[in-house]
Structure 1
Amino acid sequence: MNIVKKPGYAVDSVDRALQLIMLLQERDWLRITDAANALDVAPSTAHRLMAMLVYRGFALQDDQRRYCAGPALRADTAAGPARTAVSIARPHLVTLALSVRETVNLVERVGVTARYLFTAEGPQLLRVGNRTGTVLPAHLSSGGKAILATLPEPTVAQFYTGRQAQQSGSGLAVAELEGLQRELAEARTQGYAVNLGRTEADLAAVGAPLATAGRPAALAISISSPLSRAGDIQQPKVIQALHATCEAVLRELHADGVLPAA
């Protein structure tokens, strides 16, 4: 057995980044203070390293300033409770995709991002492809907006105007935040959020949250289509099918203990 020795030309910053990646793979969540202690560096150094990992998709940050492994580190993009949620939702999403003949996604909010945990592609030749592992801004995607709409307005405002938002570059200008709050108010009223070319020019989507009345959601289900079929996925029968699927998945998530009992 060969003994691997540390190279004499080792680059400390690279070594620390790799150690940080290993920590992200070992733990469900990691805070900057924990990372700094593990690496024996200042918190500011750990924060800079983590920010680069977030930028490259190796880490994701939630609104409690915790970090988890990003899509670049997860072949299945889901672990722990998320994997269980995918297992429960998969057959329902496949059934919905066949029913509405469009691509269906299970989406999780992590901080101000929307992470696509699973995709069931629609049967049509011209369709939206598999988005599993994709990470998009929550305020642009239909699933992300559907989840944000379950939160109080002040909480949403804090996400996009607080110090953390300014440091991470995810802050919104006043006009942008006002526009987002109007979209979320509309989503609360109609029960679903819409994305018309916001994340991709030729893509349309509708999303509904997996939410119990009075409780914020962590997950959503979205239906994606080419922009040319945007009107079709907003038809009442499609929205009804989307809501019915959300309710069915939510019941099973509660029964399995993935989400707290209603």
Structure 2
Amino acid sequence: MQNTRIVKRPEYAVDSVDNALRILLLLQEREWLRIAEAARELGVAPSTAHRLMSTLVFRGFALQDDQRRYTAGPSLAAGPAQRHVRGLVATARPHLEALAVQSRETVNLVERVGASVRFLFSAEGPQLLRVGDRTGTVLPALTSSGGLAALAALPDAVVEQLYTGRGAQLGGHALTPAELADLRRELAETRARGYSRNLGRTEPEIAAVGVALALPERPGTLAVTLSAPISRAAALERPETVAPLRAACAALQRDFAI
């Protein structure tokens, strides 16, 4: 008869570490998790749960959305959130790879979660000098073309709440009135232009343009971007480059709606 070893909680267990690990398990089990739910599961105060979750966000294990819910971050590659990502990538991949061949630049599928964006998939362009695969990268939405495109698809009131509300203060991404006014102007220009623009903002040698996917059930969450060395920035904004990008987004919108 095989002996079964029972693993007990060690007497020297550090409660904060144990609670952080329990939150990681919750994030793996569920697509979304709120602070109140985490606090109830752990038997701690919401302020304690929030401090733990903020640390996990900082380390890439969690991301916060507009509704102040948390989902697994790129450092936590399992669970419902990851299955959701795999489904999006499976649908988008043929379109992104075809666009990479046509545009000869690197194409990215980007998801905005709250004030951050994560790169879900990259299809590298065929040119020798190109932007590499950025899958898994997380950036502030304000500094990326995909994030700006997604934010431009939201009403100004939603954007203002995202960057001035209590969640913004706690998350460290709150904007001053002057910074918010600058963002409003940039988003208005993006809407008028029909695509976002990033010229060396994320990295000095990289340029990018982005178009948001118009998904009625998920407005302002997904975008497709084209990235190139900044020496080819002007080419990214030519009609013969932007038109295929928009066409790819329209095709993706139809596929996601099925």
Q: TM-score range with shorter-chain normalisation?
A: over 0.9
Counterparts of 2:107 and 2:81 in 1: how far apart (Å)?
17
Q: Which moved more, 1:32-41 or 1:195-204?
A: 195-204
Answer whether contact 1:58 1:69 (CA < 8 A) is retained: yes
1:163 offset after TM fit, Å? 1.8
Q: Which moved more, 1:151-160 or 1:43-52?
A: 151-160
Answer whether contact 1:150 1:215 (CA < 8 A) is retained: no
1:77 offset after TM fit, Å? 11
Answer whether contact 2:31 2:79 (CA < 8 A) is retained: no
1:129 offset after TM fit, Å? 1.1
Return the TM-score normalized by structure 1. Answer: 0.93
Match of residue 170, structure 2, among 159, 167, 171: 167
Encode CA deviations 1:222-245: one digit per residue, 9 max, x unaligned: 001111111111111100010000
Count of residues in Structure 1 that have an aligned counterpart in Structure 2: 255
User: Identical aligned pairs, as a percentage?
Assistant: 60
Answer whether contact 2:101 2:125 (CA < 8 A) is retained: yes
For structure 1, list consecutive stretches of 5 or more residues without a partner in the other structure: 256-262
Answer whether contact 2:38 2:49 (CA < 8 A) is retained: yes
Answer whether contact 2:27 2:79 (CA < 8 A) is retained: no
Structure 1 residue 50 corresponds to structure 2 residue 53: yes
Counterparts of 2:48 and 2:108 in 1: how far apart (Å)?
36
Counterparts of 2:20 and 2:217 in 1: how far apart (Å)?
41
Counterparts of 1:215 and 1:20 in 2: how far apart (Å)?
26
In structure 2, the CA distance between the partners of 1:79 and 1:156, relative to structure 1 (3 Å rule), is: same
Counterparts of 1:235 and 1:87 in 2: how far apart (Å)?
29
* Matched position secondary structure for 1:116: strand
Counterparts of 1:214 and 1:97 in 2: how far apart (Å)?
27
Encode CA deviations 1:125-151: one digit per residue, 9 max, x unaligned: 211111111111111110111011011
* Matched position secondary structure for 1:223: strand
Question: Aligned letter for 1:202?
Answer: E
Structure 1 residue 94 corresponds to structure 2 residue 97: yes
Match of residue 62, structure 1, among 65, 75, 82: 65
Counterparts of 1:13 and 1:212 in 2: how far apart (Å)?
40
Answer whether contact 1:76 1:133 (CA < 8 A) is retained: no
Structure 1 residue 144 corresponds to structure 2 residue 147: yes
Counterparts of 2:249 and 2:152 in 1: how far apart (Å)?
15
Answer whether contact 1:143 1:207 (CA < 8 A) is retained: yes
1:103 offset after TM fit, Å? 0.6
Q: Which structure 2 residues correspond to residues 173-192 of structure 1 after superposition, within 5 A?
A: 173-192=176-195
1:23 offset after TM fit, Å? 0.5
CA RMSD of aligned residues (A): 1.8
In structure 2, the CA distance between the partners of 1:213 and 1:79, relative to structure 1 (3 Å rule), is: closer
Return the TM-score normalized by structure 2. Answer: 0.94
* Matched position secondary structure for 1:93: helix
For structure 2, list consecutive stretches of 5 or more residues without a partner in the other structure: none
Encode CA deviations 1:10-34: one digit per residue, 9 max, x unaligned: 1111011001101100110000010
Question: Aligned letter for 1:117?
Answer: L
Answer whether contact 1:108 1:115 (CA < 8 A) is retained: yes
1:212 offset after TM fit, Å? 5.2
Counterparts of 2:193 and 2:217 in 1: how far apart (Å)?
16
1:217 offset after TM fit, Å? 3.0
1:175 offset after TM fit, Å? 2.0
